[in-house]
Amino acid sequence: DALASQVAAGEVVERPAAVIRELVENSLDAGSTHITVEVQRGGTAMIRVVDDGCGMNREDALLSIERHATSKIRTKEDLAAILTFGFRGEALPSIASVTRFRIATREKEALSGTEVEINGGKLSAVKDYGGAAGTLIEARSLFFNVPARRKFLRTEATEYSHIEQQFIVHAMAHPEVTFTLIRDGSVAFHLPATKDALDRVRGLVGDQLASRLIKVEPTEHKGIRVWGYIGGPGLSRSNRQQQITFLNGRPIESSSINYGLREGFHTSLMKGQHPVTVLFIEMDAEGYDINVHPAKREVRFHDGFAVRDALAKAVSRALEAANK
């Protein structure tokens, strides 16, 4: 079973940023209002996510590291979602199988909490925990017991940039949550909760850059609503790192979206550039499928042309308005 977990871990835990994604999603699912992510050496030495969510009792904490133990299947719709997304209840056991792993958690009303330690998938300690309500999860020495996978990690700087990108995506999707990212002991981002998405963008990219962003007013095309912010000339990067798209609140990737952005920017002076973009797409969930691969959120739209057109229109309209 340890082997099975390590195999599953290869799917879920591709690199430190993937661990962060899973842990932060769990913290969000737990209803947290404050989430702090701390990493050392690009996450290879240590990843810690601390939240103030619902916490777990001892039984749940122990269950959470068993494979396929999810507390999230409650209805038939949940089950259907799991069949599409797959990999429910795999994240924690997978991560725990390839790290020195620790959960410290306490439910709000509980007098005492629980601390569980797992070493490369083997339970090594269960004790009382007197810390704050919520959950702290720590994963140290990623792949210490799977040298073959450790070799695939890139430099600490590269791994950190993926972590930062992952963090930014979550922070953008949830401005109502206070997010902090600490890198090797220094605060990289501290983003107080806000109701305004632009406030969050400002916190992420800085006031100066944010003041030059162009607002994409909500536009609708064939039932596909698009809104957000895009960079004007000079606010480009040489790659797509800074282009984030959310579909119904979830960060995703899709070729239709890439085509739509390219087309939208094509008509402007910014031809061939990949400007900073933060775009939100809202549409009926019947209109797309999400690839089951857990490392990516690749979406296939049933009407990819409509999505491409919706994005192209929204972007070119915003650029036109800004140039007036």
The distance of closest approach from Cβ of residue 136 to ligand ADP in the complex, given in angstroms and rounded to an integer, is: 9
Contact between 26 and ligand ADP by CB under 6 A: the answer reads yes
> Between residues 18 and 205, which has the closer beta carbon with respect to Mg ion?
18
Contact between 68 and ligand ADP by CB under 6 A: the answer reads no
SS (HEC) of 47-63: EEEEECCCCCCHHHHHH
> Between residues 34 and 225, which has the closer beta carbon with respect to ligand ADP?
34
Letters for 124-163 (x = contact with ligand ADP by CB under 6 A, - = none) are -----------x----------------------------
Q: Are 57 and 108 in contact (CB under 8 A)?
A: no
CA distances from 128 to 66, 107, 110, 136, 177 (A): 20, 13, 11, 14, 28
The whole-angstrom separation of Cα 32 and Cα 9 is 25
Question: Interface with ligand ADP by CB under 6 A: which range of 20-28, 111-119, 282-290, 299-307?
Answer: 20-28
Contact between 164 and ligand ADP by CB under 6 A: the answer reads no
The whole-angstrom separation of Cα 263 and Cα 316 is 8
Q: Of residues 20, 37, 47, 91, which one binds ligand ADP by CB under 6 A?
A: 91
**Pick from ligand ADP, Mg ion, none: which does 44 bind, CB < 5 to 8 A by kind?**
none
Q: Which DSSP letter does residue 174 get?
A: -
CA atoms lying within 13 Å on the CB side of residue 202: 12
Residue with tokens 């210490």: 144
Burial of 205 (0-12, 13-18, 19+ CB in 10 A): buried
The distance of closest approach from Cβ of residue 88 to Mg ion in the complex, given in angstroms and rounded to an integer, is: 8
Contact between 70 and ligand ADP by CB under 6 A: the answer reads yes
Q: What is the tally of helices (H) and strands (E) in the chain?
A: 11, 17
Greatest Cα pair distance, the chain, in angstroms, is 65
The distance of closest approach from Cβ of residue 311 to ligand ADP in the complex, given in angstroms and rounded to an integer, is: 30
Which residues, in sequence order, are CB contacts of 288 under 8 Å at separation 6+?
247, 299, 300, 301, 302
Contact between 180 and ligand ADP by CB under 6 A: the answer reads no
Question: Interface with ligand ADP by CB under 6 A: which range of 49-57, 154-162, 171-179, 244-252?
Answer: 49-57
The distance of closest approach from Cβ of residue 70 to Mg ion in the complex, given in angstroms and rounded to an integer, is: 7
H or E element at residue 71? none
Question: Interface with ligand ADP by CB under 6 A: which range of 52-60, 173-181, 188-196, 256-264?
Answer: 52-60
> Between residues 16 and 53, which has the closer beta carbon with respect to ligand ADP?
53
Question: Interface with ligand ADP by CB under 6 A: which range of 85-93, 196-204, 216-224, 284-292?
Answer: 85-93
**Pick from ligand ADP, Mg ion, none: which does 127 bind, CB < 5 to 8 A by kind?**
none
Q: How many residues bind ligand ADP (CB under 6 A)?
A: 21
The whole-angstrom separation of Cα 319 and Cα 324 is 9
Q: How many residues bind Mg ion (CB under 5 A)?
A: 2
Pick the closest to residue 274 from 218, 217, 234, 226 (CA basis). 234
Q: Which residues bind ligand ADP (CB under 6 A)?
A: 22, 26-27, 30, 51, 53-56, 60, 64, 69-72, 88-92, 135
Q: Which residues bind Mg ion (CB under 5 A)?
A: 26, 91
